[in-house]
Amino acid sequence: QVQLVESGGGSVQAGGSLRLSCAASGYTDSIRYMGWFRQAPGKEREGIAGLSPVTGTTGYADSVKGRFTIVQDNAKHTLYLQMNSLKPEDTAIYYCAAAFVSRPYSWSSERKYDTWGQGTQVTVSS
Strands (DSSP E) contained in the chain are 2-7, 10-13, 18-26, 33-39, 46-51, 58-60, 68-73, 78-83, 92-99, 115-116, 120-125
Rounded CA separation 71/85 (Å): 17
Q: Which helix (H) or strand (E) holds 27?
A: none
pLDDT band at 15 (very low <50, low <70, confident <90, very high): very high
Q: How sure is the predictor about 51, in pLDDT bands with cuts at 50, 70 and 90? A: very high
